[in-house]
Structure 1
């Protein structure tokens, strides 16, 4: 019987790995390590380093493979994502069939946590031979961001909303909340907001050696963040960042 373990590994610092994650890594017969091109080789390097640090089961095999690239130019966003998920599921199935077959434990090391703005669970349910799915939770980018800024995410008795840069840019500030967490922002959607009365806590490469954080009144630090983000992307070839916005007194 095939079992798939989706193992949350945190968002950059190998020390964020939990004991359960270490156990699941060592229980695997096969660990798949996706490659996302030279620009994001750091992500594969981190997965390799984690396995080098904690993998003690000599029978566990590690296999690297190239992930399909999403067509970000598709006009229909959801249709483009669906097609990409199908392609990724097909690549997972090929590697599992080739290196493990229909019986055993296969693991994927998931950046952050598999439950939060990650597609692994949706992709897993598209596999040709549907496996038993095990999820090992990991430290999220939101947790790492709050820790980096020593910030309490919610105000007393108040709600907050987690959304995407695309939705913030298209819809503006969400109704009913004064705290917004923004993830998957391909640019700097906060620039579409009127900055007065808004504070921002921003971070990139959270938990990694190259971590960058900035915070303050959006009107004061917005341009600094835009410039820092642009420079970091040019330096690394990729960027993974998120931020928290709060309205009112801080």
Structure 2
């Protein structure tokens, strides 16, 4: 049982304020190759946005630029009033590979950001997240003992540990089987709905992009540029059955037509 001191330490740590993200003429070159054509885009604070496009279109590169993990060749990125010039402190990030450390148990993996940032009293918060993500029974297990879907739940818990105002997800479910991926899509939109965080999801899946987001950004093939910006009208919480509706299908068709015209195919 958690002590009163532990409980109060975590309960007094508020969720971070959701911050807007503004891109103005952002482009990226690698040598002489243009990966991203100039992109201007604004994400409202607390908005859940997905970016979908063909392989090599620069969508993961764009996320890395926003997160400050790489620097643009031109243009400017601001989070709130701050120009991004280094890795963003107030973010949680989940990659396609969960990047869990096999020699640390589940709880210790979730607590790793707290150790890096020197945060104290975060064990109650970590256990709370593991309960929310339905993996609390495996807190003392090791990553190699878990399924792929369970590992990604742990990775999400780790990303959420420090109450980030920004959540970045780079194709986090692409390696999972179809059923587990559906379950994770439902889980993700539940996580989004329960937090006031600006969320950016990178995906190849048109269906996933629509289901998990309030807004879908459609990118072209390289050099990546924005082809469309689509508002998703469905209220939350969402059930998987919404994917069978005519309105959902129409949005998917609108996205797919962009790639068909360009000769690009996505999932």
Length-normalised TM-score, structure 2: 0.28
Q: Report 1 or 2 for greater relative contact order, CA contacts < 8 Å, sequence distance ≥ 6.
A: 2
Length-normalised TM-score, structure 1: 0.30
